[in-house]
Structure 1
Amino acid sequence: MTDGYQERISTLLKEKNITNNELAEAIGKGKATIGRYLTKGPTRTYPSIEDLSLIAEYFKVQAHWLCFGVGDKHTDAEDITHAANQSAVTVAVYNRTEVNALLSGDTPPSVGSIPVPPEYKECFGVMYPVTGSVSYKWDCIALVNPNKAWVNDDIVLARLPGNPYPDFFTLVKVGTIIHVWYGDDTTKNAIHQVSDNDIDVLGVVRWGTWEKRI
C-alpha cells in the first residue's frame, strides 16, 4: 500500500464536502481515527485494507485505486487485470505543479496511475486542465513523452518565460519564431511568440484518457 492513499482520501473528502466525522461514522470509526489515518505526524496510524475498502465503498470508488493508486476511481479490477494480461504497463499520474520535481529526479507524490499500452511506457501522466461543463464530470489525463522531439501542431508540456510551472500548449514554428497557443485551441490568435531559447519543452503529449468524476 502506498502512502498516496492519504492524498486520495483527502481529495475525496473535499470533492464530496464530507467531514472526517461523517466519514468516521460511515465506517464505524471515531473521528480521531480518521485524523490519525490522514496525518503525517508522529500520531499517524495506518488503516487496514478492510478499513480502506469500507472507505472506498462509502465514496463509491474502486478499492485498488484508493489503496494503491492503480487505475482510476472507476476502473474495474477486471479491466486492470485484462490490461495487464495484454502486456499493458502502468504509469504514474501527477499534477502539473509536481512535474518540475519529477524531472529533477525527485519522487513527488502522484495522484494515481493508469494502465497504458506498452509503447507508452516511457511516458508519465499529467492532469490536463479542462474547462466548461465537461470539467464538472470529467478529468483528463495527458500522457507526456519526455524523450520525443516536437513537431508543428504538437501539444506539449512546456514552461514559458516568467512561469515556474509547466502548462500545455500547441506549438507551430515558422522560421525562427514559435507560435504558442494555450492548450489545444488554435482557433484564436496565438498567445505568445517565442524563440527556441525562450521556451522549455518538457515533453510531447502522445495520448490521453478521460476519467469520470464522482
Structure 2
Amino acid sequence: MNDGYQERISALLREKNITNNELAEAIGKGKATIGRYLTKGPTRTYPSIEDLSLIADYFNVQAHWLCFGVGDKHTDAEDITYAAVNQSATTVSVYNRTEVNALLNGESPSSVGAIPVPPEYHSCFGVMYPVTSSVSYKWDCIALVNPHKEWVNDDIVLARLPGNPYPDFFTLVKVGAIIHVWYGDDTTKNAIHQVNDQEIDVIGVVRWGTWKKRI
C-alpha cells in the first residue's frame, strides 16, 4: 500500500460531496478515525486493508486502485492479473500535466494512479489527456508518453512552448526549419504556432494510451 490512498480517498470525498462523518458511519468507524487516516501529521494512523476495502465498496471503486493506485477506479482485478500473467505487463504512474515538471526535475510528485502497460512501455509515464465534448463527462483519457522516442511529422507530443510553464499536447509538422504546431490532435484548423527547434521543448511522443471510466 502506498501513501497515495490518502489523496484518492480525499478526492472521492470531494467528488461525491461526502463528509468524513458520513464516510465514518458508512464503514462503522468514528469521525476522528477517518481524520487520522487522512492527516499527514503526528496523529496519523494507518487503515487496515479491510477498512480500505470497505471504503472502496462504499464509493463503488476497485480496492486495488484505492489501496495501491494500480489500474483505475473501475479496472477489474482479473483484468490486471490477466495483463500481468499473460502479457508480462508492467505498471506506470499517471500524472496531471501540472506535475510533469516536478517529475522531470527528479522529484516525486503525487500521481493520480497507475495503469498496466505492455513491457516495452516500462520507461514511459502516463499523463492525463484533455478531452472535450460529451465523452468527457463519462471518460478520462490517459496518454502514455515515451520520452525516448524522436518525434516525426504528425506525431502527437507532450511539449512546452515559449511562455508556457506547463507542458501540453500538440501535433507537430516540420516544414523546412519551421515546426507547425496544432493543439491536441485537431489539425483541421490553422496551426496555433510556428516555432523552430530551439523554441519548443518536446518531452516525449504519445505512442499509446487508454481510457478510464468516471464514476
Give the TM-score normalised by the residue count of structure 1.
0.97
Which ranges of 4 or more aligned residues in structure 1 deviate by more than 6 Å? Answer: none
Aligned residue pair count = 214
- Structure 2: 5+ residue runs without aligned partners? none
Q: Percent identity of the aligned residues?
A: 88
Letter in 2 for 1:118: P
1:167 alignment counterpart: 168
Does residue 43 (structure 1) correspond to residue 7 (structure 2)? The answer is no
Letter in 1 for 2:182: W
RMSD: 0.9
Letter in 2 for 1:191: I
2:147 alignment counterpart: 146
1:196 alignment counterpart: 197
Pick which of 11-20 and 63-72 moved more: 11-20
Letter in 1 for 2:92: V
Map 1:64-213; keep pairs closer than 5 Å: 64-86=64-86, 87-213=88-214
Alpha-carbon deviation of 1:43? 1.7
State the secondary structure of the residue aligned to 1:158. strand
Distance 2:7 2:129 in 1: 19
Q: Kindly provide the CA deviation profile for residues 51-97 of structure 1, in whole angstroms up to 9, marking residues without a partner as x.
A: 10000000101000100011111111111111110211111111111
Alpha-carbon deviation of 1:124? 0.5
- Structure 1: 5+ residue runs without aligned partners? none
1:27 alignment counterpart: 27
Alpha-carbon deviation of 1:30? 1.6
Alpha-carbon deviation of 1:35? 1.5
Give the TM-score normalised by the residue count of structure 2.
0.97
Alpha-carbon deviation of 1:184? 0.6
State the secondary structure of the residue aligned to 2:64. helix
